[in-house]
Amino acid sequence: MTRQMTGAEMVIQALKDQGVDHIFGYPGGAVLPIYDEIFQQEDIRHILVRHEQGAGHAAEGYARSTGKVGVLLVTSGPGATNAVTPLADALMDSIPLVCISGQVPTSLIGSDAFQECDTSGITRPCTKHNYLVRSVEELPRILHEAFYVARSGRPGPVVVDIPKDVQFATGTYHGPSNVSHKTYHPQLKGDLDAVRKAVDMLVNAKKPILYTGGGVINSGTEACQMLRELVALTGFPITSTLMGLGAYPASGKEWLGMLGMHGTYEANMAMHECDVMLCVGARFDDRITGRLDAFSPNSKKIHIDIDPSSINKIVQVDLGIVGDVGHVLEDMVRIWRAGGKKNDKQDLATWWERIKIWRKRDCLAYRPNEDVIMPQYALQRLSEKLKGRDYYITTEVGQHQMWAAQFLGFEEPHRWMTSGGLGTMGYGFPAAIGVQTAHPESLVVDISGDGSVQMNIQELATAIQHNLPVKIMILNNEHLGMVRQWQQLLHGNRLSNSYVEAMPDFVKLADAYGAKGIVCDKPDKLDAAIDEMIAYDGPVIFDCRVAKLANCFPMIPSGRAHNDMLFSDEAEDETMIANAIGDAGKKLV
């Protein structure tokens, strides 16, 4: 379909042709023509945020919970710079976004015009790709390309910066069907010989482990299904990164829990002692590997990733397979079945016996308290109350995030939205708004801390305006808990600026915005408070006052290896805490 229209019309038409039904944004001078088009149609619903960072994270939440591309619309200058954090966040966590930004008219570019900034220059290192549109004739191609690039291969954010004169100019529009990309064609199928070799390695493994990541979820529900089939077929133990939770069900008997810095003892020990590691759509992040020269020292490593640069980036692997996780896992399952491959049941049983011993360490145990709500207990109670419901969880960043990953089990992909790579405080609440927009009937809970929630608290107005009944559950310990925990471990318990003074009254704050505020500080009242939060038909801030000095364990302190974890019962000893991290570790992040 080709016809004449203005650049602004093309933007809306292209969004429709790409199947977009919601966008998140904030108007301003350089995007007024596009906003005028939004006003004159009803197919695309615009969610007005209160800060462009909120728009970006909302689009991320929308994308991650649907598997579709999230779209945000911002103005030039400060509009675009405010969107930089979510763009960087989406790049780190491979979330498909298209950010449409207004730009000053072409004739004014470079003149330091009002609200001008070099958006394409600023966003170049924090996007997968970006475009400055120079004429209306290239706009339709760029818009459709942007969606293609955002969702193909390893997904990521794409910026389309459109000068105001291009929005007003008239040109010929064409739909997505006649756009084929000149250069960008990611490899989807893995090399079959390599896949066969991988299956051989797995069949002959005595102590195998599957280490999976966000790539499985990005690949889609079929990939998660293939992963489940592979585990069922092999009986291998499986662990996952923070980003990969939900790809394999937490109730599955092969599930070891999350691995890494705050992962479970059994997952980390199994990683350390395995003889064959199958890494699927994960990237050996420093929060996963711990001390690199002691990382899984005796294993052969297989790595499946759609991004060739992920393979051998941090850890040299024995077999790298470039391809879409879903395709490669499908081939793997097929070859395993066709070969009638049987691994040695006895070896595997011995391996599981060993894992069971590690499991008995009960690494997530904490000391219960009758007077004060322990944060872990709060999450266990929430988890109980979520059972049987259709729910989505987002988090901010900090201790609450790690506890949520440890204590809330995920059975399905796309149900868990968290900022993994960039670690963006202030992510969870706007992300929850995006999730709720995509799933209006579902229960969406943002697990938050008292620090993070204040980083994008203004979005409460967005939730109210658009009737998005998001629940914020603040595990309020009046501290920047993870900062404090590191200060205890690294800096002689000198708590520099990690105590949050002048805490707002969250109940009154909720009330001021027209939301519901709930506060609870007693373990015996907790269940009722959670029930009240879930039952309320509208946005809720639940100020859950938890133990002020609880720390998040188990933990691999920086500079230590997987088999060298710190547990909560050991960490009660002050000298243990003071000596937990060596001098080398203190230099790491």
Partner 1 sequence: MQQGSAYFIEEVSTVQETHTLSVLVDNEPGVLARVIGLFSGRGYNIDSLTVSETSHEEHISRITIVTTATPPVLQQIRSQLGRLVPVHEVADLSTFDVAPLERELALIKVTGTGDKRVEALRLADAFRATVIDATAEHFVFEMTGRQNKIEQFISIMQPLGLVEVCRTGVVALRRGPNKT
Token match 């829990």: residue? Answer: 257
* Cα–Cα distance measured from residue 94 to residue 218, given in angstroms and rounded to the nearest whole number: 8
Cis peptide, bond prior to residue 554, ω within 30 of zero: yes
Quick one: which segment of 130-138, 259-267, 476-484, 494-502 binds partner 1 (CB under 8 A)? 130-138
Neighbours of 583 (CB within 10 A): 7
Site string for partner 1, 258-297 (x = CB under 8 A): ----------------------------------xxxxxx
Distance CA 53, CA 462 (A): 13
Q: Which of 114, 508, 570, 572 is catalytic?
A: 114
Q: Which two tokens stand for residue 510?
A: 């909720």
Nearer to partner 1, 134 or 361 (CB): 134
The residue from 9, 37, 52, 396 that is catalytic is 52
Tell me if 110 contacts partner 1 by CB under 8 A. Answer: no
Task: Out of 298, 346, 496, 575, name the contact with partner 1 by CB under 8 A.
Answer: 298
- Strand 276-280 and strand 300-305: the pairing is parallel
Choice between 183 and 496, CB closer to partner 1: 183
Read off the amino acid at residue 503.
M
Stretch that binds partner 1, among 120-128, 211-219, 232-240, 484-492 (CB under 8 A): 120-128
> How far apart are the C-alpha atoms of 58 and 436, rounded to whole Å?
9
Greatest alpha-carbon pair distance for the chain in Å reads 74
Among 19, 110, 121, 492, binds partner 1 (CB under 8 A): 121
| One of 43, 110, 111, 124 touching partner 1 (CB under 8 A) | 124
Q: Is 311 in the site for partner 1 (CB under 8 A)?
A: yes
Cβ at position 79, least distance to partner 1 in Å: 20
The region of 214-222, 299-307, 354-362, 409-417 touching partner 1 under the rule CB under 8 A is 299-307
Q: Which stretch binds partner 1 (CB under 8 A): 216-224, 300-308, 332-340, 512-520?
A: 300-308
Nearer to partner 1, 203 or 233 (CB): 203
Binder to partner 1 among 2, 110, 111, 184 (CB under 8 A)? 184
DSSP strands (E only) in 134-259: 157-163, 170-174, 208-212, 238-240, 255-258
What single-letter DSSP state applies at residue 515?
Answer: -
Q: Which of 68, 128, 164, 301 is catalytic?
A: 164
Spatial strand order of the sheet with 540-545 comes to: 416-417, 391-395, 443-449, 471-476, 540-545, 516-520
Q: Does 319 help bind partner 1 (rule: CB under 8 A)?
A: yes
| Binds partner 1 (CB under 8 A): choice among 178, 312, 369, 497 | 312
Task: With CA atoms as reference, report the closest residue to 210 among 385, 333, 30.
Answer: 333
* Phi and psi, residue 113, nearest 5°: -70, 165
DSSP 454: G
Identify whether 13 is a catalytic site residue.
no
How far apart are CB 214 and partner 1 at their closest, in Å?
17
Based on the residue annotation, tell me whether 52 is a catalytic residue of this protein: yes
By beta-carbon proximity to partner 1, the closer residue of 120 and 448 is: 120
Quote the least distance from Cβ 3 to partner 1, whole Å: 27
Q: Is the dihedral of CA 134, 140, 141, 144 positive or negative?
A: positive
Q: Look up 115 and say whether it is catalytic.
A: yes
* Segment lying near partner 1 (by CB under 8 A), choices 51-59, 221-229, 317-325, 444-452: 317-325
Grouping H, G, I as helix, E, B as strand and the rest as coil, residue 179 is coil
In what helix (H) or strand (E) does residue 513 lie, and over which residues does it extend? helix 506-513
Q: Which of 482, 533, 555, 565 is catalytic?
A: 482
Q: Which amino acid is at 319?
A: L
Alpha-carbon distance of 7 to 39, in angstroms, equals 15
Burial level of 458, CB count in 10 A (0-12/13-18/19+)?
middle
Among 20, 34, 149, 443, binds partner 1 (CB under 8 A): 149
Per CB under 8 A, the list member of 44, 108, 315, 422 interacting with partner 1 is 315
Instruction: Tell me how far apart the alpha carbons of residues 561 and 371 are, in angstroms, rounded to a whole number.
Output: 36
| Smallest distance, partner 1 to C-beta of residue 113, A | 19
Distances (CA, A) of 447 to 218, 416, 460: 22, 11, 15
Task: In angstroms, give the least distance from the CB of 293 to partner 1.
Answer: 6
Handedness of CA 229, 65, 322, 208 (dihedral sign): negative
* DSSP conformational letter for 69: -
**Region of 77-85, 182-190, 204-212, 262-270 interacting with partner 1 (CB under 8 A):** 182-190
Annotation says 482 is catalytic: yes
Shortest Å, Cβ 198 to partner 1: 12
| Residue of the chain from 16, 134, 189, 341 that contacts partner 1 (CB under 8 A) | 134
Contacts with partner 1: how many residues (CB under 8 A)?
34
- Closer Cβ to partner 1, 269 or 489, answer by number: 269
Report whether 500 contacts 480 (CB < 8 A). yes
CA distance 295 to 187: 29
Q: Smallest distance, Å, CB 99 to partner 1? A: 15
Closest CA to 205 of 108, 278, 265: 278
**Looking at 75-83, 224-232, 315-323, 488-496, which segment touches partner 1 (CB under 8 A)?**
315-323
CB of residue 20 vs partner 1: minimum separation in angstroms? 21
Interface ranges with partner 1 (CB under 8 A)? 120-121, 124-125, 128-130, 132, 134, 149, 182-184, 292-301, 307-309, 311-313, 315-319
* Residues labelled as active-site residues: 52, 114-115, 164, 482
